[in-house]
Amino acid sequence: MDKRNMDSDSEKYTEFSKTQEKESNDESVEEETPLSQRNSEEHNSDHEHIRITDDIPPEIQELLNTDPKTGLSTEVAQSRLEKFGKNEIGESKTNPFLKFLSYFKGSIAYLIELACIVAAIVQDWVDFGIILALLFVNASIGFIEESRAESALDALKQTLALKTRVRRDGKFVELNSTDLVPGDIIALRLGDIVPADAKLLGIGVNGSRTEERLLVDQSALTGESLPLRCQKGDSVYSSSTVKQGQMLAMVFKTGADTYIGRTASLINMTVDQGHFQKVINKIGNFLIWITAILVTIIFVYQVVKFRNTPEGDVLKILQHILVLTVAAIPASIFLMMSFNHFLIIKQLKKVIVKRLTSIEELASVSVLCSDKTGTMTLNELKFDEPWLASGFTKSDILLYSYLCSEPGANDAIELAVISAAKQGLDILKDHDDQDDDVPGYKITSFIPFNPSKKSSQATVVNLETNETFQIAKGAPQVIIKLAGGNEESSQAVNDLAKRGLRALGIAKTDPKDNNRWKLIGFISLLDPPRPDTKETIEKCRNLGVKIKMITGDQMIIAKEVAHRLGMGRVILDANHLVDSTKSLQEITEHCERADGFAQVTPEHKFKVVEFLQKKGYLVAMTGDGVNDAPALKKANVGIAVQGCTDAARSAADIVLLAPGLSTIVDGIYTSRAIFQRMRSYALYRITSTIHFLLFFFIIILAFDWTLPAVLLILIAILNDAATIVISVDNAQISLLPDKWRLGQLIFLSLVLGTFLTGFSFAHFFIFRDVIGVTPEQLHTVMYLHISSAPHFLIFATRLPGHFWENIPSPLFVTSIIGTQIFALLISVFGWLSSSINLLMAVIILLVSLGILSFSILLKCMIFKNWSFELTARLCPTSKRRTKLAERKEQHAKNKRVNENFSRLKKVLIMMRVIKNFREAPDEKKTESRDDQENNDGDINSV
């Protein structure tokens, strides 16, 4: 693929594309790898494979002249190790101290830290200690939990440490794969993981020349489920697995220079801040600006008004301002997040969460891009429904294919046939694969698969009848020609190929004539979906999450798997993503509508995620191979599945320890519950902050009245302590991806905060001027009101609808009511201020409950009538205006399409009616003719 053919528009070049292009231009010799059609020679030549290219720089080419009989000397190997470095992919580790300090960053954290500094300046050591402890508790919880996740990952990584047989100083020794250098001679055998990029030498491990081919699984690199046959001169790549055969190879690239290393290094390009963190920072910035502006105005006002008086002392005013700031800022948001993270770790089993905020982001994910091989499927060939010739059954084809299979073979196709036969035939249930004979049959000769003839043959004796016959198994075209197949059998092969099924032909001779072959049928093989994948996709669809399959396999295979999983079959070829004849907008729209993508490379996966994100979607990506790593890093939530490579694990935010995708559904439920709680808390906290600041801002400026500092601090501590239990409240799970509608959230908070402020002033004036309480009692009355009215509001903010739609948890209710009982006791017994009578305190609490009822009605009305169009009108930014215009244009387009479909439907209905009218007379004539014939028959019988 030549990226220079792409549109010159710079927006079409991602960072990934530029890096790949630079690497391609920097190297001079291009050599095509063996990822070609050869892999299909064994049984079916209809399948092609993804091609990747790799270049060997001249300075390394000069080093590749090692004698295979002696290998490198220890001295040369050591010098090359010093020059090229260890054969490992470097993983950047953050300094633990700097990582701990990172938990003190963020807009809200900065405001709390500023309050901490002011508390130290005015020597308010109580507030200083409380604020500092809160910051350190939050940072410690986050640091400890993420450190645990990293330790678990390191433990998993240690289990993957590799040893390699290397020829050094003329003999084979076993070394750590990290010690390999360019020019090393390594032995590759069945089951080995290729430790570095290497060229096959066509020499067996015993030193003799060999024409044998290695069967290599490179699914971690290309995503293809079918293994590849490699011969002398071909390249094999680090992290691929040898499935069959043995051969010597010469290392030509190690570490970060390997294909897997270069791909894995690209994951460091995307360093965007998480979506959830951006939202928290926006909420924090809003609260900071409100707090800073109003508190600054109060400070300036008091400095000017009380200048040259004892009340005008700057430190004294600062102390008073500090109390207001501490009471206003949402310090408990950190504890809320920490409790949520604790619940995440407790609830999600068999999951390692590397980035804790990724679970919150999962609630807003609307598209899940999933790698197919090994994630949606089992990554192993399985026996599918066969095509049978007339006179044969499924048991026949299973038996004859087993009789013509090589015992103990490690070939994926042979294993699939043997496994299917043992499961489907009773006589093979307890049969040992190492035995040459099958109960009732004796195999007198066996010719293994011959690449030139593309078939294997067995001669078998039926012990019951003493008849001898031959069986042939191989490429469908070869078997059809051998058995003299007809057009029907040829069409069957074409049908299987169109569905992406790998076919094997089976034929046998007539026992009476060993030269006369009969076609038994065709075995079909496929990498099948995991048993739980279809159900998981259906659950995700019900939760409003679109699933898009991304695979390196061929288009026909992707369509067949998508069909079996109940997905749409709109699968795009990867080249569609870099089509220079289409605009970026067209490609993005096609990505949005597609159900999947086939024949992709790591760059294509990266582009799919990028295009969808530009369209406004929050994207999750699952994968297990190195080819998935860049896309995992780019996605809003990267999910590495069980058995993933180190590169995928490093790039992901979440690592699954159980097979398949079913765990993701649990994650979505958990994340949406957490989202609802965090939104409830945000709405409550912004509303209460606006109410608190607005009331005291006006009343200080207008009447120079405020509450004693101890009461203000008590309000902040009790309210924040009680609201932490939102973390365990019963949440109403949304059936659609959740979104942080900040415009709606802030507007609703402003309305509710202003509404509460109005009631607070009414409360103030009624008790001061109408009831006539003393100034000391007024402090107690307003304390109890400001403690209860906003606090009860949490029952209104916990749901978008009415509170009875989802009953709160007992712990939640107990906590809220408990704090108010405590506030009532303080007010009645006068522990911190002048006491009021019990009746007055109860009336204040009942009034607060009445305010709650009005708040719920107001909230429901706003939610009901809110729309993006209203947001664009209230806050008409250029981005919102553009988005609104695009939505209106899309709505008009959809309306026209629907109208055209309606017209077409009417035309089709009219055509069907006309057709039925035309057919009716013919049916009547036929019925009359049949009646006449029946009558004639009756007369003749008489």
Contacts of 7 (CB under 8 A, 6+ apart): 580, 583, 584
Strands 513-526 and 502-510 come out as antiparallel
Contacts of 99 (CB under 8 A, 6+ apart): 143, 146
Q: What gap in Å lies between CA 629 and CA 638, rounded to an integer?
A: 9
Residue 596: pLDDT band (50, 70, 90) is very high
The predicted structure's pLDDT at residue 652: 84
Q: What gap in Å lies between CA 281 and CA 39, rounded to an integer?
A: 52
* pLDDT tens, position by position, 746-805: 888 889 999 999 999 999 999 999 999 999 999 999 999 998 988 888 888 888 777 777
Q: What is the mean pLDDT of residues 416-428?
A: 85
User: In this predicted model, which residue has the larger pLDDT, 49 or 247?
Assistant: 247
Q: In degrees, to the nearest 5, what angle opens at C-alpha 403 toward C-alphas 402 and 406?
A: 75
The predicted structure's pLDDT at residue 31: 35
Handedness of CA 407, 409, 411, 412 (dihedral sign): positive
**Which range in 142-151, 206-215, 544-553 is most confidently predicted, on average pLDDT?**
544-553
Give domain 392-482+503-526's CATH superfamily.
Calcium-transporting ATPase, cytoplasmic domain N (3.40.1110.10)
The predicted structure's pLDDT at residue 30: 33
Residue pointed to by tokens 């405590």: 822
* pLDDT tens, position by position, 706-760: 888 888 878 877 777 767 777 778 888 888 898 888 878 888 888 999 999 999 9
The predicted structure's pLDDT at residue 93: 60
With contact defined as beta carbons under 8 Å apart, do 793 and 707 qualify?
Answer: no
* Closest listed residue to residue 214, CA positions, set 195, 227, 230, 226: 230
Q: What gap in Å lies between CA 760 and CA 782, rounded to an integer?
A: 8
The predicted structure's pLDDT at residue 924: 52
Contacts of 896 (CB under 8 A, 6+ apart): none
Q: What is the mean pLDDT of residues 622-647?
A: 81
Q: Which helix (H) or strand (E) holds 933?
A: helix 878-941
Q: Which helix (H) or strand (E) holds 275?
A: helix 275-305
* Closest listed residue to residue 304, CA positions, set 290, 293, 314: 314
The predicted structure's pLDDT at residue 55: 63
Average pLDDT, the chain: 79
Instruction: Say which range, 8-22, 494-508, 592-606, 714-728, has the weakest mean pLDDT.
Output: 8-22
Cross-strand partners of 470: 459
Handedness of CA 761, 762, 763, 765 (dihedral sign): positive
Residue 275: pLDDT band (50, 70, 90) is low
Q: What gap in Å lies between CA 744 and CA 636, rounded to an integer?
A: 23
What's the longest Cα–Cα distance across the chain?
134
The predicted structure's pLDDT at residue 347: 72
The predicted structure's pLDDT at residue 879: 76
* pLDDT tens, position by position, 71-82: 999 999 999 999
Catalytic residue numbers, as ranges: 371
* Alpha-carbon separation of residue 631 from 23, 643, 769 (angstroms): 19, 18, 66
The predicted structure's pLDDT at residue 12: 33
The predicted structure's pLDDT at residue 37: 32
DSSP string over 9-58: -GGG--HHHHHHHHHHHH---EEE-S-SGGGGTTT-TT------EEE--H
DSSP string over 137-185: HHHHHHHHHHHHHHHHHHHHHHTT--EEEEEETTEEEEEEGGG--TT-E
Checking phi first, is residue 806 left (phi over 0); if not, alpha (psi -120 to 50) or beta? beta
The predicted structure's pLDDT at residue 291: 83
Q: Each residue of 92-116: b (16+ CB within 10 Å) or e?
A: eeeeeeebbeebeebbbbebbbbbb
**Which range in 216-225, 434-443, 755-764, 851-860 is most confidently predicted, on average pLDDT?**
755-764
Residue 34: pLDDT band (50, 70, 90) is very low
Residue 426: pLDDT band (50, 70, 90) is confident
Tell me the H-state helices in 499-601. Answer: 533-542, 555-564, 584-593
* pLDDT tens, position by position, 875-910: 777 777 787 787 788 788 878 878 887 888 888 888
Q: Which helix (H) or strand (E) holds 905?
A: helix 878-941
Q: Which CATH number fits domain 60-266: 2.60.40.4070, 3.10.129.10, 2.70.150.10, 3.40.50.2000?
A: 2.70.150.10
Residue 409: pLDDT band (50, 70, 90) is low
pTM assigned to the model: 0.70
Q: What is the mean pLDDT of residues 139-145?
A: 67
Q: What gap in Å lies between CA 668 and CA 537, rounded to an integer?
A: 13
Q: What is the mean pLDDT of residues 169-175?
A: 88
User: In this predicted model, which residue has the larger pLDDT, 830 or 659?
Assistant: 830
The predicted structure's pLDDT at residue 222: 64
Contacts of 341 (CB under 8 A, 6+ apart): 141, 142, 145, 356, 359
**HSE value, Cβ hemisphere, 13 Å, CA-based, for 180:** 35
Residue 23: pLDDT band (50, 70, 90) is very low
Residue 779's φ and ψ, nearest 5 degrees, are: -60, -45
**For residue 218, is pLDDT > 80?**
no
Q: What gap in Å lies between CA 59 and CA 49, rounded to an integer?
A: 30
* Closest listed residue to residue 457, CA positions, set 785, 199, 321, 449: 449
The predicted structure's pLDDT at residue 148: 57
User: In this predicted model, which residue has the larger pLDDT, 832 or 764?
Assistant: 764
Strands 637-640 and 654-656 come out as parallel
Q: What is the mean pLDDT of residues 401-418?
A: 80
Residue 301: pLDDT band (50, 70, 90) is confident
With contact defined as beta carbons under 8 Å apart, do 626 and 372 qualify?
Answer: no
The predicted structure's pLDDT at residue 43: 38
Residue 681: pLDDT band (50, 70, 90) is confident
User: In this predicted model, which residue has the larger pLDDT, 924 or 316?
Assistant: 316
Residue 151: pLDDT band (50, 70, 90) is low
Q: Which helix (H) or strand (E) holds 315?
A: helix 314-328
Q: Which helix (H) or strand (E) holds 576?
A: none
What HEC string does 449-489 produce?
Answer: EECCCCEEEEEEEECCCCEEEEEEEECHHHHHHHHCCCHHH
* pLDDT tens, position by position, 838-864: 999 999 999 998 888 888 888 888 887
The predicted structure's pLDDT at residue 827: 92
The predicted structure's pLDDT at residue 548: 93
Handedness of CA 406, 409, 411, 412 (dihedral sign): positive
The size of the chain, in residues, is 942
Checking phi first, is residue 566 left (phi over 0); if not, alpha (psi -120 to 50) or beta? left
The predicted structure's pLDDT at residue 309: 81
Which CATH number is 281-343+668-866 given?
1.20.1110.10
The predicted structure's pLDDT at residue 365: 92
Residue spans per domain, the chain = 60-266, 281-343+668-866, 351-378+529-657, 392-482+503-526
Q: Each residue of 661-690: b (16+ CB within 10 Å) or e?
A: bbbbbbbbbbbbbbbbbbbbbbbbbbbbbb
Which CATH number is 351-378+529-657 given?
3.40.50.1000
**For residue 299, is pLDDT > 50?**
yes
Q: How far is CA 83 from the centre of its chain?
A: 39
Q: Which helix (H) or strand (E) holds 197?
A: strand 197-200
Instruction: Say which range, 16-25, 83-92, 159-168, 826-835, has the weakest mean pLDDT.
Output: 16-25
The predicted structure's pLDDT at residue 671: 87
User: In this predicted model, which residue has the larger pLDDT, 711 or 106?
Assistant: 711
